[in-house]
């Protein structure tokens, strides 16, 4: 409970400082008027893209989970059942996604989402091994697609990125490097689990020797469980390559949806003169740069980078409103929706107990 309170205070504190810094000295009435004049159809389209971002993850969880539940003899799908209630429906899996988004948004580096998702999936009667493989597969593909997009942007649009991002270009390179390292570690755990265990044992030994850590046998058990789970995910995906292709395709669309959202805001505010490719490229660069930073929801740095990067794209009076609408939809709106779904599920779980 103390940890949750601390995370909430930290999150709210960062949010307050972020918006105070961005809005201090601004004409709030002009900002309000600009937001108010946002085209409703484009606002609905942007909100739809934000919801698609979360629902797409839920759809992938449902797709993989039900695929793993097919009987080998009849090929019919078996749904998890608690009492007489079917809880592995598409809607239920979308709820898992909203819960994961909420906890990822309030924890540093988005580390809190998957453990809570796993908790609710197990509560619903899903096998722990199946749930773990599904969540790991979704997370790994998410990171791989992000890295591929980031590397592709650097190779084919590197000069334009350097010019547009200016002082934030090193942050983009750092974000891409951190994501690449994360993917490399995960792939190593998947493909070479024994090597990962040996490397971890050596690192742990050095940390203990330097008195940074104390000896703890449970630490190695967790690493072995971690690598074992990823190995199980690899084995399952090898047997179902078609499922992997579907997840990669949906993840690519999911990633692009949040980038396209900013272009809907651009059009909705009556802006013109910048191509959809440039707006999407800039938004993707912001996302990649801040994705791995140890801040809840990457608050503060996301808004500051957005304001700098999109300054030449939006007119002076529309820049801050565009940021408020874009960031409000792709993060705070989804965070509030996730909080509502989480609260409802928490209440239902307690009621059942």
Beta-bridge partner residues of 70: 77
Local structure of 273: helix, strand or coil: coil
Exposure string of 153-178, with b = 16+ CB inside 10 Å and e = fewer, is bbeebeeebeebbeebbebbbebbeb
With beta carbons less than 8 A apart as the criterion, state whether 175 and 153 touch.
Answer: no
* pLDDT band with cut points at 50, 70 and 90 for residue 73: very low
Element (H, E) at 213: none
Question: Nearest Cα to 97, choosing from 233, 250, 240?
Answer: 250
pLDDT at 81: 42
Q: How far is CA 170 from CA 29, 150, 158, 300, in A?
A: 35, 13, 12, 17
pLDDT for the residue 345: 81
Q: How much is the pLDDT for 349?
A: 57
Biggest alpha carbon–alpha carbon distance for the chain: 68
Query: Over 50: is that where the pLDDT of 78 sits?
Result: no
Q: How far is CA 98 from the centre of its chain?
A: 11
CB neighbour list of residue 145: distance below 8 Å, 6 or more residues apart: 248, 251, 252, 255
Per-residue pLDDT at 291: 86
Confidence of residue 10 (pLDDT cuts 50, 70, 90): low
39-56 core/surface letters (b: 16 or more CB in 10 A; e: else) = eeebbebbbebbbbbbbb
pLDDT value of residue 299 = 75
**More confident: 316 or 142:** 142
Asked if the model's pLDDT at residue 269 lies above 80, the reply is: yes
pLDDT of residue 256: 93
Are the C-beta atoms of residues 102 and 339 closer than 8 Å to each other?
Answer: yes
Q: What is the pLDDT of residue 70?
A: 61
Q: Looking at residue 79, what is its pLDDT?
A: 41
C-alpha 23/C-alpha 327 separation (Å) is 14
Q: How far is CA 45 from CA 72, 122, 326, 333, in A?
A: 42, 35, 12, 14
Nearest to 287 by CA among 112, 166, 145, 113: 145
Say which residue, 253 or 335, is predicted with more confidence. Answer: 253
Phi–psi pair at 241, nearest 5 degrees? -60, -30
Residues 195-223 pLDDT 10s: 777 887 888 888 788 777 777 777 777 77
What is the model's pLDDT at position 250?
Answer: 95
Q: Answer whether residue 84 shows pLDDT above 60.
A: no
Confidence of residue 263 (pLDDT cuts 50, 70, 90): very high
What value, to the nearest 5°, has the Cα angle with vertex 108 and ends 103 and 113?
25
Number of C-beta neighbours around residue 135 at 10 A: 24
Where is average pLDDT lowest: 41-55, 84-98, 238-252? 84-98
Length of the chain: 353
What is d(CA 291, CA 287) in angstroms, rounded to the nearest whole number?
6
Confidence of residue 249 (pLDDT cuts 50, 70, 90): very high
What percent of the chain has a predicted confidence (pLDDT) above 70?
A: 83
Bridge partners for 244 per DSSP: none
Residue 116 and residue 162 in contact, taking contact as beta carbons nearer than 8 Å: no
Q: What is the average pLDDT across 173-200?
A: 83
Lowest-pLDDT choice from 7-16, 135-144, 235-244: 7-16
Which residue do the tokens 């939006």 mark? 314
Q: Which pLDDT does position 152 carry in this prediction?
A: 94
Reported confidence tier of residue 268, pLDDT bands at 50, 70, 90:
very high
Distance in Å from the first CA to the final CA of the chain: 19
Phi and psi torsions of 4, nearest 5°: -65, -40
Q: Which of 107-116, 209-218, 287-296 is modeled with the greatest confidence? A: 287-296
Mean pLDDT of 161-189: 89
Distances in Å between the Cα of 2 and the Cα atoms of 5, 8, 87, 288 are: 5, 10, 31, 32
In the structure encoding, which two tokens stand for residue 253, read together?
């669309």
């Amino acid at each position: 409970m103390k940890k949750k309170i601390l995370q909430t205070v930290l999150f709210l504190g960062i949010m307050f400082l972020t918006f105070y810094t961005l809005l201090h000295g601004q004409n709030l009435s002009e900002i309000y008027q600009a937001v108010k004049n946002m085209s409703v159809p484009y606002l609905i389209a942007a909100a739809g893209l934000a919801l698609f971002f979360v629902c797409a993850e839920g759809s992938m969880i449902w797709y993989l989970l039900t695929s793993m539940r097919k009987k080998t003899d009849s090929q019919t799908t078996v749904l998890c059942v608690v009492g007489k209630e079917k809880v592995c429906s598409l809607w239920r899996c979308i709820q898992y996604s909203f819960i994961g988004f909420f906890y990822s948004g309030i924890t540093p580096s988005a580390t809190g989402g998957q453990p809570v998702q796993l908790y609710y999936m197990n509560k619903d009667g899903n096998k722990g091994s199946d749930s773990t493989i599904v969540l790991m597969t979704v997370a790994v593909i998410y990171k791989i697609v992000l890295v591929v997009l980031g590397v592709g942007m650097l190779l084919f649009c590197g000069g334009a990125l350097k010019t547009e991002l200016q002082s934030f270009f090193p942050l983009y390179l750092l974000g891409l490097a951190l994501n690449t390292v994360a993917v490399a570690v995960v792939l190593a755990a998947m493909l070479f689990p024994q090597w990962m265990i040996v490397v971890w044992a050596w690192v742990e030994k050095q940390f203990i020797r330097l008195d940074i850590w104390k000896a703890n046998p449970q630490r190695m058990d967790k690493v072995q469980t971690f690598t074992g789970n990823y190995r199980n995910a690899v084995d399952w995906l090898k047997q179902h390559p078609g499922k992997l292709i579907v997840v990669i395709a949906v993840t690519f669309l999911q990633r692009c949806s949040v980038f396209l959202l900013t272009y809907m805001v651009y059009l909705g505010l009556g802006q013109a003169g910048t191509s959809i490719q440039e707006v999407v490229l800039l938004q993707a660069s912001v996302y990649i740069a801040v994705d791995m930073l140890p801040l809840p929801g990457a608050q503060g740095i996301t808004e500051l980078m957005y304001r700098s990067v999109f300054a030449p794209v939006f007119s002076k009076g529309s820049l801050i409103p565009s940021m408020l609408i874009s960031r409000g939809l792709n993060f705070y709106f989804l965070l509030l929706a996730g909080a509502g779904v989480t609260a409802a599920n928490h209440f239902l779980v307690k009621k059942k107990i």
